[in-house]
Homo-oligomer: A and B are copies of this chain.
Amino acid sequence: MTSSIKKIQRKSRYRTVGLMPGTLNIDKSALTPKMEVFSYNKDGLTTTDAKDIDVVLQQVKKQRSLTHWIQISGIGDAKLLETLGASLDINPLVLEDIVNTHQRPKFDEYDDYVFMVSRVIYFNDEGELANEQFSALIKGNILITFQETYVECFPAVKTRLSAGKGLIRTAGPAYMAYALTDTILDLYFVVLAQIGESLDELEDKLYDSPDKSVMYNAQQLKRSLINVRRAVWPERDKINDILRTDNRLISKDVKMYLRDAYDHCVQIMDLIENDKEITSSIIDLYLSMVSNRMNEIMKVLTIISAIFIPLTFIAGIYGMNFAKIDPVTNKVMPDNMPELYSEHGYYYAVAAMLFIAVIQIIIFWRKGWFSKL
């Protein structure tokens, strides 16, 4: 499910041994950036599809009364980032963190800007758990966000922005960053809802028609949960760091909303722990069912074997050819298997067999082998 992601992660790290920190070592498979600029205040909103970051930044710097959100999707252009870094005076380490898309969620403060990373997690069209990096940079009245792919995660935020309702138009770039982060957390709830449904299906399957796939699927879900947890734990720490900062870029109002986002993180972690417990419980039940199945199989084998093997032995006894009379010498040997020549020998033998079988069935019934465990 997530192995392809994992491999990319390792390979891209493999090539950077001993490189200079701050080097923009962009992955070959990274997408060409697309840019969309949202400039707004409480009176209006302008949306622009931009090509040249330089032009955008110059324009943006002029409009000091507006808040600007520059949404960059795709990070496959070192030039763009270098231009941006030079124009806004951003530390190369930050730029490196933007292109090296394996950062854990974090919040870094610099002299006059802040930088934050989140993980965007969703099931993609192939049913794999995608784990993208989303980074945001706040400087003055500008918010620049970077996303690995073109997947649109924020339609609802954009709708709110164009509707002009609420604080979104008036509360500045930090509130916008909060709105995006909270939307990303909402996506976590969606992923957990999907995992929850899979767990429900798995549980139904466990009770209805358990087979090997239960174990595989439970392990897969467990790994997905662990992946989500690995993203959400540092996310919570990140939000906590923002809550405790006294950076003037993060206003008290935004912090009040972030406390809400913090609660959501804790709820997500709670749901993950719950789902992990359910997964463990499914695995335990499955393993117990395998044991019980084995028990049942062995009981059937043992009951049938135990009953028939002695009977077959008796039949074998009376199938022996010890001769009463020697065919060559005609010597009579009355001691050899006299039962065979007794008038009701056959009936006695069958009666003995029935008796043994009944005794055994009673013993097994008493042991409870016909009903329980």
Q: Identify the A interface with B (CB < 8 A).
A: 3, 6-7, 9-11, 13-14, 16-22, 91, 93, 102-104, 106, 108, 154-157, 159-160, 165-166, 168, 179, 182-183, 186-187, 189-190, 192-193, 196-197, 200, 203, 209-212, 215-216, 219, 222-223, 226-227, 230, 256-257, 259-260, 263, 266-267, 270-271, 273-274, 277-278, 281, 283-302, 304-306, 308-313, 315-328, 331-337, 339-347, 349-350, 367-369, 371-373
Chain B positions within 8 Å of A223 at CB level: 277-278, 281
Cα separation A339 to B333 with both chains bound (whole Å): 12
Cα separation A206 to B3 with both chains bound (whole Å): 14
Cα separation A371 to B190 with both chains bound (whole Å): 35
The 5 A-B residue pairs whose C-beta atoms are closest, nearest first, are A18-B156, A315-B316, A318-B320, A10-B193, A301-B302
A256 touches B93 (CB 8 A): yes
Chain B positions within 8 Å of A372 at CB level: 209-211
Output the nearest chain B residue to A299 by Cβ-Cβ distance. Answer: B297
Chain B positions within 8 Å of A91 at CB level: 256
A226 touches B277 (CB 8 A): yes
B322 touches A345 (CB 8 A): yes
- Least distance between A239 CB and chain B CB atoms (Å): 14
Chain B positions within 8 Å of A342 at CB level: 333
B373 touches A103 (CB 8 A): no
- Least distance between A140 CB and chain B CB atoms (Å): 22
- Least distance between A246 CB and chain B CB atoms (Å): 19
Cα separation A154 to B20 with both chains bound (whole Å): 12
Output the nearest chain B residue to A368 by Cβ-Cβ distance. Answer: B209
A260 touches B308 (CB 8 A): no
Output the nearest chain B residue to A334 by Cβ-Cβ distance. Answer: B328
Q: Which residue in B10, B108, B273, B341 is a CB contact (below 8 Å) of A196? A: B10
B346 touches A336 (CB 8 A): yes
Chain B positions within 8 Å of A203 at CB level: 3
- Among A19, A22, A227, A316, find the residue whose CB has the most chain B CB atoms closer than 10 A: A316
Chain B positions within 8 Å of A270 at CB level: 104, 230
Q: Would you mind naming 11 contact pairs between A and B with Cβ atoms under 8 Å apart?
A: A17-B186, A19-B186, A219-B281, A222-B277, A291-B294, A298-B298, A298-B301, A308-B313, A321-B340, A323-B341, A336-B343
B324 touches A335 (CB 8 A): no
A192 touches B104 (CB 8 A): no
A304 touches B305 (CB 8 A): yes
Chain B positions within 8 Å of A322 at CB level: 318, 339-340, 345-346, 349
Known A-B contacts A18-B156, A200-B7, A325-B327; the reply to A216 vs B285 at CB < 8 A is yes
